[in-house]
Amino acid sequence: MQQDAATLQARLDALIRIAKSNERKQENFQKYELSLLNSNGLGELLALILEEHKVRFQLTEVTLLLLDPEYEFQRLIEASPNIPGWPKRLLFTDNHHTIAQYFSLQQRPRLTAFSPFQHQILFPGHSNLRSVALLPLVRQQRLIGSLNLGSRKAERFQANIGTQFLQHLAAVVSACLENARLHEHIKLVGLRDPLTGVNNRRFFDQRVEEEVSRALRTQSPLSCLFIDLDHFKRVNDQHGHQAGDILLKQVAEILNDSMRSCDVIARYGGEEFVALLADTTQSAASDIANRIRESIEATEFEVGHGIRLKQTLSIGLATLSDTNSIKNTRQLLQAADQAVYAAKLAGRNKVRLHGTS
């Protein structure tokens, strides 16, 4: 009788321990879920999924494979300098089957022993895993990716373990990823000039402040080019507004191609562009400006209906550096503006440097 009571008590204690452990797990999970839902932007969300998740749930590896047939995700990430690439952990495929092969039609989480051969796409370079949980990410009944959790412990993910938590987690991650993608897309579109595809004035106004602070902090030169098409009004007047649009697009393409990846090019206004060249002295920037001027001058622009046009542009250059009086954004932009005005006065199709005549 006494022994029965002791056994009963032991069972009860074990049940209480399991209940408490489940409660802790649920709490941990809820906190994590809340941080996913409150995350601010794609970078923060990816950091939560790939970094925080691993630590919080004591996993050996977490990877994310996303279906990205039009390279949209990859482009968004490349365009955001503050989002790291997470090599071997943030993975992309343009093939639906690459992801679908891991899941049944019901698209439920799959808990199984790790197989280096079968799972190498999901965990590249990992051989020390023993069990994995593969969570299908689904939006509007369509597979958009898989979240892959790997553990060094064989017993961590087994087929008989309940998957309710994981199913819920996959739904939250899917919704957050989709949201962040749309949000980032809208942000990017809002900073691009729709006609030419280069950055717009809003983007430039934000970036110039950042670049100027950086140049002052690191005591490195920062050059700014104001680039203005010559007699552009004539193109519109003689060939129509649409021909003008086509020409602007082609000029923007040449400008974009002339820049290094760390330079910033933006459409500043109608037929005016602006470029910021980080770590570039006045003399180096002058060479770049002259090359741009020459390549525009040498181009025959095809503007539709078989019409080919020649076009030139004027460039004003100013440099923020230790050796002159330009010390802030306002002075830099004003100086570049004055220099482009001087280039126009000098007869157009010229590069003029601020502070020289």
Ligand X SMILES: Nc1nc2c(ncn2[C@@H]2O[C@H](COP(=O)(O)OP(=O)(O)OP(=O)(O)O)[C@@H](O)[C@H]2O)c(=O)[nH]1
Residues with catalytic roles? 271
Select 313 or 320, whichever has its Cβ closest to ligand X: 313
* Per rule CB under 6 A, count of chain residues that contact ligand X: 16
Judged by CB under 6 A, the residue of 65, 134, 248, 288 near ligand X is 248
Select 93 or 256, whichever has its Cβ closest to ligand X: 256
HSE, CB side, 13 Å, CA atoms: give it for residue 15: 6
What CA–CA distance (Å, rounded) separates 323 from 243? 43
Side chain identity at residue 192, one-letter code: R
What CA–CA distance (Å, rounded) separates 295 from 175? 47
Task: Provide the minimum distance between the beta carbon of 209 and ligand X in the complex, in angstroms, as a whole number.
Answer: 25
In this structure, how many other beta carbons lie within 10 angstroms of the beta carbon of residue 91?
21
Q: Does 239 bind ligand X (CB under 6 A)?
A: no
Token readout for 355 is: 């502070």
Select 212 or 252, whichever has its Cβ closest to ligand X: 252
Residues with Cβ < 8 Å from 221, sequence gap 6 or more? 215, 279, 280, 281, 282, 319, 320, 321
Judged by CB under 6 A, the residue of 307, 344, 349, 355 near ligand X is 344
Question: Nearest 5°: phi and psi at 286?
Answer: -65, -40
Select 184 or 228, whichever has its Cβ closest to ligand X: 228
What CA–CA distance (Å, rounded) separates 20 from 135? 26
Interface segment toward ligand X; rule CB under 6 A; list 27-35, 69-77, 230-238, 318-326: 230-238
Site string (284-323) toward ligand X, x via CB under 6 A: ----------------------------------------
Q: Does 249 bind ligand X (CB under 6 A)?
A: no
Query: 348 in the Ramachandran plot: left (φ > 0), alpha (ψ -120 to 50) or beta?
Result: left
Interface segment toward ligand X; rule CB under 6 A; list 52-60, 108-116, 231-239, 274-282: 231-239
Select 250 or 280, whichever has its Cβ closest to ligand X: 250
Select 108 or 348, whichever has its Cβ closest to ligand X: 348
Interface segment toward ligand X; rule CB under 6 A; list 26-34, 121-129, 236-244, 273-281: 236-244
Task: Provide the minimum distance between the beta carbon of 314 and ligand X in the complex, in angstroms, as a whole number.
Answer: 7
The DSSP code sequence of 264-310 is EEEEEETTEEEEEEET--HHHHHHHHHHHHHHHHTPPEE-STT-EE-
- The answer to whether the CB of 307 falls within 8 A of the CB of 248 is no
| Sign of the C-alpha dihedral computed for residues 52, 53, 58 and 63 taken in this order | negative
Task: Provide the minimum distance between the beta carbon of 287 and ligand X in the complex, in angstroms, as a whole number.
Answer: 23
Q: Does 229 bind ligand X (CB under 6 A)?
A: yes
Residues 175-214 contacting ligand X, CB under 6 A: 195
- Across the beta sheet with 131-139, the strand order is 90-93, 61-67, 142-151, 131-139, 110-113
Side chain identity at residue 29, one-letter code: F
Task: Provide the minimum distance between the beta carbon of 271 and ligand X in the complex, in angstroms, as a whole number.
Answer: 4
Q: Does 170 bind ligand X (CB under 6 A)?
A: no
Task: Provide the minimum distance between the beta carbon of 144 and ligand X in the complex, in angstroms, as a whole number.
Answer: 37
Task: Provide the minimum distance between the beta carbon of 281 and ligand X in the complex, in angstroms, as a whole number.
Answer: 27
Judged by CB under 6 A, the residue of 215, 271, 275, 285 near ligand X is 271
- The answer to whether the CB of 277 falls within 8 A of the CB of 226 is no
Q: Does 68 bind ligand X (CB under 6 A)?
A: no
Select 233 or 330, whichever has its Cβ closest to ligand X: 233
DSSP percent split of the chain into helix, strand, coil, nearest 5: 45, 20, 35
Q: Does 266 bind ligand X (CB under 6 A)?
A: no
Task: Provide the minimum distance between the beta carbon of 350 and ligand X in the complex, in angstroms, as a whole number.
Answer: 11
Q: Which residues bind ligand X (CB under 6 A)?
A: 195, 228-233, 236, 241, 244-245, 248, 270-271, 344, 348
